């Protein structure tokens, strides 16, 4: 998931909108499963606030996968209005086949899993990823969007995008600005990406992102 500094960048945008929102933060090496309960607790706090009928969620990387489990299996369907994943690990990640190789070799998988438990849960085809998608990746009462970059070397487009549907928007940053070379780690700092997120959260005030060259590194 996004580191705390990155989460603050996203929260800053959401605060401008005045939209009830949660940008989830958890150690990026921790197991993926337990934070789903944390999302449920935080959303519950927002949901009980006066006038907060539904809560909008924005998550980066694993933070785009964990809320899907919450929505699909922990009662979030009735509480979430919009779920936006920025470079989300929607279908788990393969690291261009490396994680699948580890999964097929138990000793290597166990060794890496002890150091980075998130690898076990977040690998494409893992029990957590498969369980998240049981009954379908989306639910009809929620609006979904993914915001991805063609220059993301961690999560491929096919791993981040949700299945097409009437309540799903899969957005690629370079469709708005080919000169934007933002990658997995820099998307949460990228003004073009954040403008896209703001537009998705509040289409009534949408403004076209100002295209300009963006280097792939901070």
Residue tagged 């907060």 (tokens): 52
What pLDDT is attached to residue 209? 97
What pLDDT is recorded for position 51?
A: 64
CB burial of residue 45 (10 Å; 0-12, 13-18, 19+): exposed
| Cα–Cα distance measured from residue 52 to residue 21, given in angstroms and rounded to the nearest whole number | 10
The CATH homologous superfamily for domain 4-205 is Alpha/Beta hydrolase fold, catalytic domain (3.40.50.1820)
What pLDDT was estimated at residue 26?
53
| Portion of the chain with pLDDT greater than 90, in percent | 41
Could you state, in order of their start, the residue ranges of all structural domains in the chain? 4-205
CA angle (121, 122, 123) in 5-degree steps: 100
Q: What percent of the chain is modeled with pLDDT above 70?
A: 63
Mean pLDDT for the stretch of residues 76-92: 91
Lowest mean pLDDT among 82-86, 111-115, 178-182, 183-187: 111-115
Nearest 5°: the CA angle 152, 124, 126 is 145
Compute the mean pLDDT over every residue in the chain, rounded to the nearest whole number.
78
User: Which pTM was predicted?
Assistant: 0.79
- Residue 145's nearest CA partner among 78, 72, 202 is 202
Residue 16, token pair as written in the block: 């401008």
At 35-70, the pLDDT tens digits run 666 667 666 666 666 666 788 888 888 889 988 999
């Amino acid at each position: 998931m996004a580191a705390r500094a990155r989460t603050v960048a996203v929260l800053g945008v959401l605060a401008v909108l005045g939209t009830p929102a949660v940008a989830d933060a958890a150690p990026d090496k921790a197991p993926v499963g337990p934070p789903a309960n944390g999302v449920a607790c935080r959303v519950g706090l927002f949901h009980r606030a006066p006038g907060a009928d539904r809560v909008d969620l924005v998550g980066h990387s694993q933070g785009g996968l964990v809320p899907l489990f919450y929505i699909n299996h922990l009662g979030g369907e009735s509480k979430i209005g919009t779920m936006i994943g920025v470079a989300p690990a929607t279908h788990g990640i393969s690291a261009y086949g490396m994680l699948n190789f580890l999964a097929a070799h138990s000793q290597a998988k166990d060794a890496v899993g002890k150091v980075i438990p998130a690898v076990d849960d977040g690998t494409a085809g893992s029990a957590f990823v498969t369980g998240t998608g049981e009954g379908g990746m989306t639910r009809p009462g929620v609006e979904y969007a993914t915001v991805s970059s063609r220059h993301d070397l961690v999560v491929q487009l096919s791993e981040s995008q949700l299945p097409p549907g009437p309540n799903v928007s899969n957005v690629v940053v370079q469709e708005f600005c080919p000169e934007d070379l933002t990658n997995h780690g820099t998307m949460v700092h990228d003004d073009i990406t954040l403008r896209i997120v703001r537009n998705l959260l509040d289409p009534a005030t949408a403004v076209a992102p100002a295209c300009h060259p963006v280097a792939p590194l901070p």
